[in-house]
């Protein structure tokens, strides 16, 4: 049997005796994104002599000069954040045009890291703009800006993955497109109340990682993360149809991101 085409995407189902139409929404994609969480192998680092540590730091500096914030905006960019808590020491956030480029930057650190920066978790996704939100077409300058955003310069970051729920009557994927669009509009109204305080980048990961979306928030006041997420929990889209993964919060590091862990 041939795979369904775009004209076959409407699917009818019956809920409570009423036929509804459930239909996917077209999406536009931009940067490939990697959230790369690392922890310093502290015993191994302490065991190095001063000369070996200097050699390692020089290698990290060279890698970051090639891949870090000064990288061409058209090719992508990277940032480093110190993670608060036990989950990791550093989160590297990479935006790239191609999946192959993410592979190279990820394993570039492995090559120069002397097995000192152990990867404790990672998340692969792609910047996504759904048909609910895209206005003006893929070539519209505002759409391109949202698909290929510059790396934000805010001091604090908050990242978490999430799914849309598929349980009994709380099944997002059994709602009609119109119902989903209406819920998303209400959801967006909550976020717009925080305009100017927080910048949000949504990335899609269906078929790429274990969750369906990643949400990365940037702000200059970390309390904004708490207030925004808490308020959104009362929105029906989140309260009824969303499941959340772990939260990671951190502070931006400068170009010599390894300095907080240096023994010098």
CA–CA separation, 109 and 71 (whole Å): 16
Question: Residue length, the chain?
Answer: 264
123, 160, 194, 241: the catalytic one is 160
| Residue of 232, 237, 165, 235 lying closest to 200 (CA atoms) | 232
- Own/partner long-range contacts of 5-13 (Cβ < 8 Å, ≥24 apart): 13/174
160 catalytic, yes or no?
yes
| C-alpha dist (Å) from residue 145 to 32, 37, 87, 92, 124 | 14, 26, 32, 22, 21
Nearest CA to 155 among 80, 232, 68? 80
Positions marked active-site: 160
């Amino acid at each position: 049997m041939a795979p369904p085409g775009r004209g076959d995407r409407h699917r009818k189902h019956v809920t409570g005796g009423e036929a509804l139409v459930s239909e996917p929404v077209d999406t536009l994609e931009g940067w490939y994104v990697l959230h790369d969480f690392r922890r310093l192998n502290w015993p191994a680092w302490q065991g190095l002599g001063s000369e070996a540590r200097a050699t390692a730091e020089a290698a990290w500096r060279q890698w970051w000069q090639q891949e870090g914030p000064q990288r061409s905006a058209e090719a992508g960019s990277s940032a480093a954040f110190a993670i608060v808590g036990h989950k990791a020491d550093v989160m590297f956030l990479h935006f790239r045009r191609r999946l192959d480029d993410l592979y190279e930057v990820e394993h570039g650190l492995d090559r120069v890291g002397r097995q000192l920066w152990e990867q404790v978790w990672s998340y692969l996704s792609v910047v996504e703009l759904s048909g609910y939100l895209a206005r003006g077409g893929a070539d519209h300058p505002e759409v391109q800006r949202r698909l290929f955003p510059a790396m934000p310069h805010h001091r604090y970051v908050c990242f978490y993955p999430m799914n849309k729920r598929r349980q009994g009557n709380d099944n997002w994927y059994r709602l009609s497109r119109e119902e989903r669009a209406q819920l998303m509009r209400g959801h967006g109204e909550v976020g717009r109340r925080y305009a100017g305080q927080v910048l949000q980048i949504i990335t899609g990961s269906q078929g790429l990682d274990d969750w369906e979306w990643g949400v990365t928030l940037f702000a200059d006041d970390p309390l904004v993360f708490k207030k925004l997420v808490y308020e959104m929990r009362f929105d029906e889209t989140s309260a009824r149809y969303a499941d959340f993964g772990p939260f990671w919060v951190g502070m931006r590091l400068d170009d010599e991101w390894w300095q907080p862990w240096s023994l010098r």
